[in-house]
Amino acid sequence: MEKRVVITGMGAVTPIGNNVEEFWNGIKGGKCGIDNITTFDTTNFKVKLAAEVKNLNIEDYMDKRAARRLDRYSQLAMVAAKEVMEDSGINESNTDMNRVAIIVGAGIGGLTTIEEQTKVLVEKGQDRISPMFIPMSILNMAAGNISIEYGLRGESIALATACATGTHCIGEGYRLVKHGYQDAALVGGSEASINDLSVAGFTNIKALSQATDKTRASIPFDKERSGFVMGEGAGLLMLEELEHAKARGAKIYAEVVGYGASSDAYHITSPAPGGEGGARAMVDAIKDAGIKPEDIDYINAHGTSTHLNDSFETAAIKTA
């Protein structure tokens, strides 16, 4: 029998707030997280703006030694995970931790560590490469470190599907709980790749906005759109089987009722003309949820502010 899946915990660290409350107030207040890049010198770069997490002291969440052993994307994931675990109230006393999964992914993972250690290799030689290089850079270490920290002994998975990563992690966690494989799943994504290598790469693929006015840099669905703005942060949720949540008196924020995913098998960066692939994913989610299109009152669009995505995504939404 299929289970009902609810959200019982949330955690966020973002350019407009370093916890869920600050983040939500930032959204409601129209706060802009975009500003001049501070993580490297942009003098010779065409792109000057990014959305950096600000005023976050990692040592408020973990000791200095532990922080040094984590790439920034893992650090941000750990900060969000702490909030999720405290918010959900899930622990050994009320939950079988063997049945709590973790699915936390990233589009790129420890790219900053990879860049830093490549410079060490070139300038100082192989013997100077950090023994923590691999554990810091591989994609599954955010999930792995969260699992170790909180004793989550269910399935531990890291997905990497570019901009769709966080949503896919939520969807796959939903399916694990819905079909009874797990009682709960900590899910979401983390990213921290605001460095010169990443920005140069995305600039040369013509994906990033070169605007200097932060209020006109990320403007999806606008006729003057010119690309997206690189950001960093982490967003995590605790998904839980409804009866399990009720039995332990958990606070329930919402119910997840449907999920769909698809590929258009068309191009590595461009959606298929007409948005056919995206439309199928939305239609599948609507069918899975057992609702009608007119029941939907909010769509969280990809909205990359690139010419191809926004036009084809609009078509996909209209088709669905």
DSSP secondary structure string for all residues of 172-227: HHHHHHHTTS-SEEEEEEEE---SHHHHHHHHHTT-B---S-GGGSS-TT-TT---
Query: What does the pLDDT average to over 264-292?
Result: 92
pLDDT score recorded for residue 222 = 96
Which pair of structure tokens corresponds to residue 197?
């290598």
pLDDT score recorded for residue 190 = 98
Query: What does the pLDDT average to over 141-159?
Result: 97
Give the 3-state secondary structure of residue 120. Answer: helix
- pLDDT > 90? residue 77: yes
pLDDT score recorded for residue 132 = 95
Same domain (yes/no): 17, 157: yes
pLDDT grade for 150, boundaries at 50, 70 and 90: very high
DSSP 128: G
pTM (two decimals): 0.95
Query: Which domain, by its residues, includes 227?
Result: 5-256
Which pair of structure tokens corresponds to residue 49?
């703006």
Same domain (yes/no): 189, 235: yes
Same domain (yes/no): 149, 248: yes
Last residue of a domain, one of 232, 256, 280: 256
How many structural domains is the chain composed of?
Answer: 2
pLDDT grade for 274, boundaries at 50, 70 and 90: confident
- Alpha carbon distance 136, 145 (integer Å): 10
The percent of residues in the chain predicted with pLDDT above 90, rounded, is 95
Same domain (yes/no): 137, 285: no
Place of tokens 């990879």: 114
- Alpha carbon distance 183, 239 (integer Å): 8
Which pair of structure tokens corresponds to residue 151?
């004793």
- Alpha carbon distance 226, 309 (integer Å): 11
pLDDT score recorded for residue 42 = 97
Q: Which residues of 265-291 are buried (b: 16+ CB within 10 A; e: fewer)?
A: eeeeeebbeebbbbbbbbbbbbebbee
pLDDT score recorded for residue 271 = 83
pLDDT grade for 179, boundaries at 50, 70 and 90: very high
- pLDDT > 90? residue 37: yes
CB 43 within 8 A of CB 49: no
- pLDDT > 90? residue 270: no
- pLDDT > 90? residue 119: yes
Q: Which residues of 13-32 are buried (b: 16+ CB within 10 A; e: fewer)?
A: bbbbbbbbebbeebeeeeee
CB 241 within 8 A of CB 7: no
Which pair of structure tokens corresponds to residue 181?
């494989």
Last residue of a domain, one of 256, 271, 302: 256
Last residue of a domain, one of 256, 273, 295: 256
Tell me which amino acid residue 303 is.
G
Query: What does the pLDDT average to over 55-67?
Result: 93
Place of tokens 């890291």: 158
- CA–CA distances in Å: residue 266 to residues 1, 45, 108: 37, 31, 22
pLDDT digits (tens, 9 = 90+) for 183-222: 999 999 999 999 999 999 999 999 999 999 999 999 999 9
pLDDT score recorded for residue 127 = 96
- pLDDT > 90? residue 174: yes
Same domain (yes/no): 112, 203: yes
Place of tokens 């439309």: 279
Same domain (yes/no): 196, 282: no
pLDDT score recorded for residue 156 = 97
Tell me what the pLDDT averaged over the chain comes to: 96
Same domain (yes/no): 250, 279: no
Query: What does the pLDDT average to over 20-48?
Result: 97
- pLDDT > 90? residue 9: yes
Same domain (yes/no): 251, 269: no
DSSP secondary structure string for all residues of 238-280: EEEEHHHHHHTT----EEE---------S-SSSPPTT-HHHHH
pLDDT grade for 57, boundaries at 50, 70 and 90: very high
pLDDT grade for 267, boundaries at 50, 70 and 90: confident
pLDDT grade for 272, boundaries at 50, 70 and 90: confident
Give the domain CATH number at 279.
3.40.47.10
Same domain (yes/no): 267, 144: no
Query: What does the pLDDT average to over 149-173?
Result: 97
CB 97 within 8 A of CB 148: no
pLDDT score recorded for residue 143 = 97
Distant-in-sequence, close-in-space partners of 79: CB < 8 Å, separation ≥ 6: 11, 13, 18, 56, 58, 61, 234
Same domain (yes/no): 209, 272: no
